[in-house]
Structures are given as C-alpha cells and as structure tokens.
Amino acid sequence: MRQIRFRRHAMLLLICLFCTSAALAQVSTQSQVQDAGTSGLWVLANISFAGMRAQNNPSVGWRILAFIFGFPGTIVTFFAVAEGSDRAYGIDVPRKGR
C-alpha cells in the first residue's frame, strides 16, 4: 500500500515537472539565441583556464584573457584545480609529447 502511494506521488511530481518545463520552453527563443554566443564563450574560457592551470602553462597573457572572459566561473577553477596537477575537475588533462 505504501509503495503504491509513493509511486502515485512520484508520477504526479513527474507530470508537474514536465508540464512546467513545457510551459517554460514555450517562452520566446529569441533571447536564448542571442545569449548562446556569450554562454559559449564563457564555457570555453572556463575550460581553457582550467586546462592551462592544470598543465601549468607559462603563458600569462592567455591565462589573464581566459580568466576575464570566464569570470566568475574561473574563480571556482582557481581554487578547485591545483597548479600543474594534470587533472582538472577529476579529468586527466594530457600534455603534448606524453
């Protein structure tokens, strides 16, 4: 009896979530299209900064540029990725020549 009640509540919750997400998805996509380039640049800058920090890259100019374009996510990377550890967020970052 308890298991049936749990399943019923879980299905009701899923239906509510799907209906809510469908309603939100119908919002104008024009602003989403315009923001896609900015978000893409932000994500790439964060990945780039994490890789440079993990590999202990000596290029100061590129690091500063990636830090600025990826801000504020690069602050998290600064504290989460150890300098020269060859690992960024639990992923091995291979170097050329290895």
Predicted pLDDT at 72: 85
Cα-based distances in Å from 12 to 18, 19, 22, 51, 83: 10, 11, 15, 43, 48
How confident is the model over 3-12, as a mean pLDDT? 58
Does 56 have pLDDT greater than 60?
yes
Q: Is 66 a residue whose pLDDT tops 60?
A: yes
Measured in degrees and rounded to the nearest 5, phi and psi for residue 96 equal: -70, 140
Q: Backbone phi, then psi, for 87, in 5-degree steps?
A: -135, 130
| pLDDT band at residue 70 under the 50/70/90 scheme | confident
3 state SS of 88: strand
Q: Is the pLDDT of residue 2 over 70?
A: no
pTM across the whole model: 0.59
